Chains A and B, each alone.
Chain A
Amino acid sequence: SQKIEQNSEALNIQEGKTATLTCNYTNYSPAYLQWYRQDPGRGPVFLLLIRENEKEKRKERLKVTFDTTLKQSLFHITASQPADSATYLCALVRNSGYALNFGKGTSLLVTP
């Protein structure tokens, strides 16, 4: 079955440090992978999409890598801020259809 696994433990880091979140997947052959942010009581918000032929993608303080051999994506937030505290979700399009499957998410807490 298709699986998306993210760090199950919450990640606590100090403001200004780099947060690194991991996403591993099995039984997918994705053309691209997406990352979303979810705040409590809100729907997920799209952050970045990285294609299978892209090793790395950046957007402001965000950086995503995608290794289709390892079946893994890493999501980095540099110079983290308390406002970055949220749950971050890794998502892949299902092999059947167009809907997204999500990992369980990693909760990030950035403390001053």
Chain B
Amino acid sequence: SAVISQKPSRDICQRGTSLTIQCQVDSQVTMMFWYRQQPGQSLTLIATANQGSEATYESGFVIDKFPISRPNLTFSTLTVSNMSPEDSSIYLCSVERPARETHGYTFGSGTRLTVV
């Protein structure tokens, strides 16, 4: 069963700087998904990361702001660039588990980002 290690768990950053979030999965997966959860809101998909190709971004999210790397089938990073207070959110990575029926999708524990 897939387990995701996500770090950092939280950070406080100055505006204008960048933060890179890492997700390590304990098994190989084709697709990894990055979400943002703003305070009091549900999860919004940022992008889908496939190994060996450019990430696919959702409307409202661009590569310059949220560059993603996917160097292999167990690892991905999301960078939040040139941060502003509006970027303060929880960022989560997720993968679909092979036994979807009984295990669904697995999520990392999240990165709580505060931009000051």
Closest to A96 in B: B56
A44 to B41, CA, bound (A): 13
Min Cβ gap A58→B in Å is 13
Q: Could you tell me which residues of chain A, from 3 to 54, have a CB within 8 Å of some CB in chain B?
A: 34, 36, 41-47, 49, 51
- Chain A residues lying within 8 Å of B92, measured Cβ to Cβ, are 43-44
Q: Could you tell me which residues of chain B, from 71 to 116, have a CB within 8 Å of some CB in chain A?
A: 90, 92, 94, 96-97, 100-110, 112
Interface size on A, residues (CB 8 A): 23
- Chain A residues lying within 8 Å of B13, measured Cβ to Cβ, are none
Contact B104 A97 (CB under 8 A): no
Closest to B96 in A: A98
A-B interface pairs (CB < 8 A), number: 57
Min Cβ gap A22→B in Å is 15
B53 within 8 A of A: no
A99 to B48, CA, bound (A): 7
Most chain B Cβ neighbours within 10 Å, of A34, A44, A99, A102: A99
- Chain B residues lying within 8 Å of A105, measured Cβ to Cβ, are 42
Contact B107 A103 (CB under 8 A): no
Q: Could you tell me which residues of chain B, from 1 to 32, have a CB within 8 Å of some CB in chain A?
A: 6, 31
Min Cβ gap B35→A in Å is 8
Min Cβ gap A99→B in Å is 5
A103 to B43, CA, bound (A): 8
Q: Which residues of A contact B (CB under 8 A)?
A: 34, 36, 41-47, 49, 51, 89, 91, 94, 97-105
